A and B are shown apart, each in its own frame.
Chain A
Amino acid sequence: DGGITQSPKYLFRKEGQNVTLSCEQNLNHDAMYWYRQDPGQGLRLIYYSQIVNDFQKGDIAEGYSVSREKKESFPLTVTSAQKNPTAFYLCASSLYDRSNQPQHFGDGTRLSIL
Chain B
Amino acid sequence: EADIYQTPRYLVIGTGKKITLECSQTMGHDKMYWYQQDPGMELHLIHYSYGVNSTEKGDLSSESTVSRIRTEHFPLTLESARPSHTSQYLCASSDPLISGLKTDTQYFGPGTRLTVL
State whether these chains interact.
no
